[in-house]
Amino acid sequence: MKQYVWKRAVTVGTAALLAVGGADGVAAAADDGAPEAPVVTSVEYPDDEHWHDGVGNYGTFVIDSASDDVVAYRYTGLGGTPQTLTAPEPGAAVSLRWMPVREAPTYLEVQAIDAAGHASGTTLHRFLVGDGRAAVTHWDPDSQSGAVTGSGVTLGAPGPSGTAVASSASFDGTDEAYASLATSADLSRTFSVDAWVRPDDLDDSTTAVSHTGFSLGTAGGSAYFFELPNPGGGDTIRVTGGAPEEGEWAHLTGVYDAEQKTASLYVDGASVGTVVGAVAPGGTGALRLGADGDGGHWSGLLTDVNVWDRVFVPREITAAATRKAQRLGYWDLESATDGKSPAYAGGAPLTLVGDASIYAATDDCPWNPDCTPVTYPMVGNGDLLLDGDGDYATTPTALTPTDAGFSVAAHVRLPEDIPARDMTVLSQPGEHTDLLTLRYVAASGTWQAVVAHEDRADAPTTTVSAPLEPYPPGGDHFLAVVYDEATDQLRLYVGADYAADIARVAGVDAWAPTGDLQIGRTLTEDGSAAHLAGEIDEIHTYAGAVSRTQLAFLAAGGTDS
């Protein structure tokens, strides 16, 4: 018996039957014996001890029984529900096409069914699905892969923040804004293409990546597109979706699945459209970046272009499009020395001003039944205590937005007798106004986050709010504000389970504040105001949008290491 090492859960995939039909209405035969168990063979995914390509690569399984009265085969496994395949004629084999979507040990269990309904013994076909093949073509400004570049292309621009892509190239939209390189992909068969794009001009349709077999770009300001020429002539096959914005990065992926005859477009990891019945014409020639032939010249940034000779599956697309928030500052507020509470893992400390102090209460209740219990800090052994009478803390580590947005989070505890006035949890001042103010509003009894679109005194603002209730006064509150540049959403979380309020906002990343981050107050022309009475703990600031998973970790007091 072969030995297998089962390292991961059973794979999930898609399957398609090649040989079907022909046995409907077959009468049951007078047969007392079960058919012989089938034999399963596969060139792509044989039953052996080796890992085989792989994710996004279709394979064929041939299923055959030596019994000549077999009319169907019943199978389980491959990550799906039990299925029955009908033989084209009694005794004939069937073929099953299947594509894995994750790397894992996998199995296929099959029984043969004869005309009398007897089932054979079960055949178990076990195999090891490896990771997907690497891209057959890759381009970025740091590894141009032999690309020929026009004079309208300038290297050395920054890549999308929060990714492993360090740099990009600027295309100026002229006839010389192009790069050309060879690709070995057979574009008449299954293929995928992706790129990071940042359009700077959406007045006309422009092309980020193209070949005689496809094009990927913007349909003006209305949408992104993935397009295949029609091999029979006539209208092209076009998938559109997403909402391009000038000066904002997006991750685009086009997938042509020749097995399913589909063309699909993904924007920032999300599927935005699929056309069924697509047939790619293929074609030869070079891969062209920043243009479609002699037209559609790109104005903006491009980087990290890849072409695969397989399906780039959704989980891979999501991973490629993910922009991880980068920590700017984290203060756990466990201690203070000489009026300064250190930042976790280095960085500028918080300077405590006035009567601001680190509260660290203990009692002997675990071993003294007559003790008087005290209120413990919210997380760990300490938090910041403010009396609301001019106390605050500050740090020069500013909340600086990037092209991916920004995020802040903190634990807050208000006193049971809440003052009847507005109080600021934290604020990030610019020269003329605050980029962000997170506060308690007394008149409405709500938490509120206010974001200014520009650094001027009369700048337009966007506000999201959530009620203090049902969280009681004196209770602990986890608050988070996330501005997601990809979706233009401003989200306020009270607890990490869901966004209590969401608003659409654009343009926040157009200015970066220069002032010090303020904890427990708002700066004004005359000094400061809205001082907080209460406790604050575990303050986090990020460049980029923090995920729901990460918020849940922070809400539970995670150390964010």
Domain boundary among 321, 338, 355: 321
Residues 396 and 440 in one domain: yes
156 occurs within a structural domain: yes
Q: Mean of the pLDDT values across residues 206-228?
A: 94
Residue 22 has pLDDT above 80, yes or no: no
Q: What global pTM score does this model have?
A: 0.85
Q: Mean of the pLDDT values across residues 426-443?
A: 96
Q: Which tens digit of pLDDT belongs to each residue from 158-199? A: 999 999 999 999 999 999 999 999 888 889 999 999 999 999
Domain boundary among 97, 129, 161: 129
Q: Which amino acid is at 548?
A: R
How many domains are there within the chain?
Answer: 3
Look up the CATH number of the domain holding residue 227.
Answer: 2.60.120.200
Residues 170 and 315 in one domain: yes
Dihedral-angle region of residue 122 (phi above 0 means left; psi in -120 to 50 means alpha; beta otherwise): beta
Q: Which tens digit of pLDDT belongs to each residue from 365-394? A: 778 888 888 888 999 999 999 999 999 999
Identify the pLDDT of residue 371. 84
Q: Which domain covers residue 375, as residue numbers?
A: 326-555
Residue 90 has pLDDT above 70, yes or no: yes
Residues 316 and 331 in one domain: no
Question: SS3 string of 376-399?
Answer: CCCCCCCEEEEECCCCEEEECCCC
Residues 333 and 317 in one domain: no
414 occurs within a structural domain: yes
Give the integer Cα–Cα distance in Å for 406 and 163: 15
Residues 346 and 234 in one domain: no
Identify the pLDDT of residue 15. 46
Give the integer Cα–Cα distance in Å for 350 and 353: 9
Closest CA to 344 of 538, 185, 507: 538
DSSP string of 303-343, one letter each residue: EEEEEESS---HHHHHHHH--PPEEEEEE--S--BTTEEPP
Give the integer Cα–Cα distance in Å for 492 and 506: 16
Tell the residue number behind the tokens 């869901």, with chain if given.
498
Identify the pLDDT of residue 508. 66
Q: Which amino acid is at 541?
A: T
Residues 473 and 387 in one domain: yes
Residue 3 has pLDDT above 90, yes or no: no
Handedness of CA 166, 504, 267, 152 (dihedral sign): negative
262: its two tokens: 């589909």
Buried-exposed string 240-260: b where 16+ CB fall within 10 A, e elsewhere: bbbebbeebbbbbbbbbbbeb
Q: Categorize the per-residue pLDDT at 472 as very low, low, confident or very high, splitting at 50, 70 and 90.
A: low
460 occurs within a structural domain: yes
Look up the CATH number of the domain holding residue 73.
Answer: 2.60.40.10
Residue 100 has pLDDT above 70, yes or no: yes
Q: Which amino acid is at 395?
A: T
Domain boundary among 278, 293, 321: 321
Residues 55 and 157 in one domain: no
560 occurs within a structural domain: no
262 occurs within a structural domain: yes
The gap between the terminal CA atoms of the chain, to the nearest Å, is: 46
Residue 13 has pLDDT above 60, yes or no: no
Give the integer Cα–Cα distance in Å for 6 and 118: 32
Give the integer Cα–Cα distance in Å for 344 and 551: 18
114: its two tokens: 């004869």
2 occurs within a structural domain: no
Residue 2 has pLDDT above 60, yes or no: no
Residues 59 and 120 in one domain: yes
